[in-house]
Amino acid sequence: MAEATQNIDALMAEERRYPPDPEFAAQANTPADFYDQDPDTFWEREGRERISWFKPFDTLKQWDRPYAKWYLGGKLNVCYNCVDRHVENGQGDKVAYHWEGEPADDRLDITYADLQSRVVRAANGFKQLGIGKGTKVCVYMGMIPEAPVTLLALARLGAPFTFVFGGFSADSLGGRIVDMGCEYLITQDAANRRGTASALKPIADEAMSKSPNLKSCLVVRRTGTEIDMTEGRDQWWHDVVDGQSDDASSCPCEEMDSEDMFFLMYSSGTTGKPKGIVHTTAGYLTGVSTTHHYVFDIKPETVYWCAADIGWITGHSYIVFGPLCNATTSVMYEGLPDFPDKDRWWEIIERYKVNVLYTAPTSIRTHMKWGAEYAERHDLSSLKVLGSVGEPINPEAWVWYRDTIGGGKTPVVDTWWQTETGMIMVTPTPGLTTLKPGSATQPFPGVMAAAYDEQGKAIPAGSGAGYMVIKEPWPAMFRGLYNDDDRFRETYWSRFPDAYLAGDGARVDEDGDFWLMGRIDDVMNVSGHRLSTIEVESALVDHPDVAQAAVVSRSDPTTGQAIVAYVTLRGDQQGSPEKLIELRDHVGKVIGPIAKPANIVFADTLPMTRSGKIMRRLLKDVAENRALGDTTTLADPAVVQEIKARADAEASKED
Ligand code: WT7
């Protein structure tokens, strides 16, 4: 905690305040008494009004700590709420997605009626393959229209899914398929990535070869890249889906129970094995649609763009389910921000007159680095609200975002939440909250957040830092870890018996505003992506030449944190630039490119305590270029001096 506290002291010196603009406030979705509502009354009302139920719920919630249930007794279908009802309500011609492919001029406007046709055809095709209520399905795709269509079609059939980010390796994909017990995989030939085709199907093939329960694989042709199709197992999407009926009555929406499992999202924890975070149906949908409506001030005519990937929870909640449930028009973009040039995002905003942009601090800092001239080439005056998510945002990036992108007038909503929380938990609401650059400000109504001290007592406002906890259940709360009750209790509920432990440090200032300080466990946050130190260490020692590895993060001006690995090689091998590249690629292959260490320091030995534990804290001091802390418990204090000397030598080479 000490180290996180150092960062927060700099943050707390931030004194800029941005009170709400009266003109914005006058038209905002939030009533003046938004924060004074009784949580149960609020969630009861949102649940009844925001969702169309096949059978209304009879009990708001049940709290049998650590397991919550919400909207008990209700029957509903997510696809019906996100698609069919809008068509029935006369909104069929409204655009659901302005889809923008990476190749220039590859664009498609998908209306709610189009979306329904596509979803019904896909669901009929899936049914023909044998997918039905309860069938577990894995999806491994990029940002193509078939991605939301697939998730909605699975929701229509009541088939729980896990969507794996397209940047993950065959091992990561296979591990998730096996852990969930998926019988089907839906993927694409290759994805467009900065003008080249990045193959997905070969990775899927390797993953499937190690997944004995997998029955069949459906493949979308996106790039036309040559790929292998295994007879009897693999089929093309267009062969199975295109000829199906698109009449909604040919494939009715399954009646699901409020608490039926909706999806799993795997996320890194403090051990090598990713956790299957369980989300259920009604609470999740209510939580994400409600927060989407108020946090981004969504109106019927709003054009909204969440520039995340559907493969992360941000994409599930705020590209697919929240916005569609609210019948919002979204932009969805397939490619990278610098293709063909660094103004691609701003060009998209100008073309569609985007009102809300939601992205991560790492992207904002990248655009800052590229320079304001790219944004200045475009008319961004349509923007009304800017959102940030994924990691703490430094005040400098916050102010640049508001001034350069938002023309100095837009509220910036810094939204704190997690895969586990499913929905935004701590955030300003535009029009009501006085903004402070670097602070996520206030818990959303019905979210009981606190910072606890070591003894599990809430730290009074304005008096120090503590553990971020949530004391009461919220609708989109995860319902545990898939098949791992022990790990669920141990990870989140053992430090404090009466509160959910988020794993972040937090400080509450004199106004009661929250300042999130980053992870306090062995979880790293690289460009808003969560990775565990142990996961990366395991990937390194999986290489035949590596004897030992220790991984820490250091701060990085663009990616927030960057991965630093300390490695000892087997026998008398010496580190070399070639070996460094080989090890980085190996980590990329085992986990995925996002996990590649930024630096690798080769060492003869790693600093160990006398009881044989690697002293990560000291390695972190080296990585951060800080004065070395206490080395007295080390078995051989000279080791860390030696490593520091090597790291310094490396760093001076880079300069
Ligand atoms: C971790 C959760 C929420 C979707 C994306 C990441 C960090 C997230 C913020 C924020 C400070 C933030 C936390 C959290 N985080 N948003 N606004 N300010 N930190 O989801 O992969 O589950 O990661 O991201 O450390 O615990 P995730």
More confident residue, 14 or 592: 592
Looking at ligand 1, which residue's alpha carbon is closest to its atom 2? Answer: 418
Mean per-residue pLDDT, 319-337? 98
Question: Beta partners for 427?
Answer: none
Would you say the CB of residue 419 lies under 6 angstroms from ligand 1?
yes
Point out the ligand 1 atom lying closest to the alpha carbon of residue 426: 17
Ramachandran category for residue 464: left, alpha or beta (phi over 0 → left; psi -120 to 50 → alpha)? left
Cα gap 87→119, rounded to integer Å: 13
Would you say the CB of residue 390 lies under 6 angstroms from ligand 1?
yes
Q: Report whether pLDDT(464) > 90.
A: no
More confident residue, 135 or 269: 135
Q: How far does the centroid of ligand 1 lie from the alpha carbon of residue 417, in Å?
A: 5
| Residue 557: HSE in the Cβ half-sphere, 13 Å Cα cutoff | 5
Ramachandran category for residue 142: left, alpha or beta (phi over 0 → left; psi -120 to 50 → alpha)? beta
Between 406-415, 519-528, 613-622, the lowest mean confidence (pLDDT) is in 613-622
Mean per-residue pLDDT, 219-233? 98
Would you say the CB of residue 317 lies under 6 angstroms from ligand 1?
no
Q: What is the pLDDT of residues 33-64, one digit of tens each?
A: 999 999 999 999 999 999 999 999 999 999 99
Tokens 């293709």 identify what position?
A: 339
In the structure, what pLDDT confidence band is assigned to residue 105 with cuts at 50, 70 and 90? very high
Q: What is the pLDDT of residues 523-574, one digit of tens each?
A: 999 998 999 998 999 999 999 999 999 999 999 999 999 999 999 999 989 9
Ramachandran category for residue 244: left, alpha or beta (phi over 0 → left; psi -120 to 50 → alpha)? beta
Prediction pTM value? 0.93
Per DSSP, the three-state class of 345 is: helix
| Residue 318: HSE in the Cβ half-sphere, 13 Å Cα cutoff | 32
Q: Report whether pLDDT(450) > 50.
A: yes
Would you say the CB of residue 502 lies under 6 angstroms from ligand 1?
yes
Q: How far does the centroid of ligand 1 lie from the alpha carbon of residue 78, in Å?
A: 25
| Residue 61: HSE in the Cβ half-sphere, 13 Å Cα cutoff | 23
In the structure, what pLDDT confidence band is assigned to residue 9 with cuts at 50, 70 and 90? low
The answer to whether the CB of 266 falls within 8 A of the CB of 399 is no
Residue 2 has what pLDDT?
44
Would you say the CB of residue 504 lies under 6 angstroms from ligand 1?
yes
Question: Beta partners for 555?
Answer: 561
In the structure, what pLDDT confidence band is assigned to residue 4 with cuts at 50, 70 and 90? very low
Mean per-residue pLDDT, 168-191? 97
Q: What is the pLDDT of residues 357-380, one digit of tens each?
A: 999 999 999 999 999 999 999 999
Q: What is the pLDDT of residues 480-536, one digit of tens each?
A: 999 999 999 999 999 999 999 999 999 999 999 999 999 988 899 999 899 999 899
- Chain centroid offset of residue 307 CA: 11
Q: What is the pLDDT of residues 560-615, one digit of tens each?
A: 999 999 999 999 899 999 999 999 999 999 999 999 999 999 988 888 877 777 88
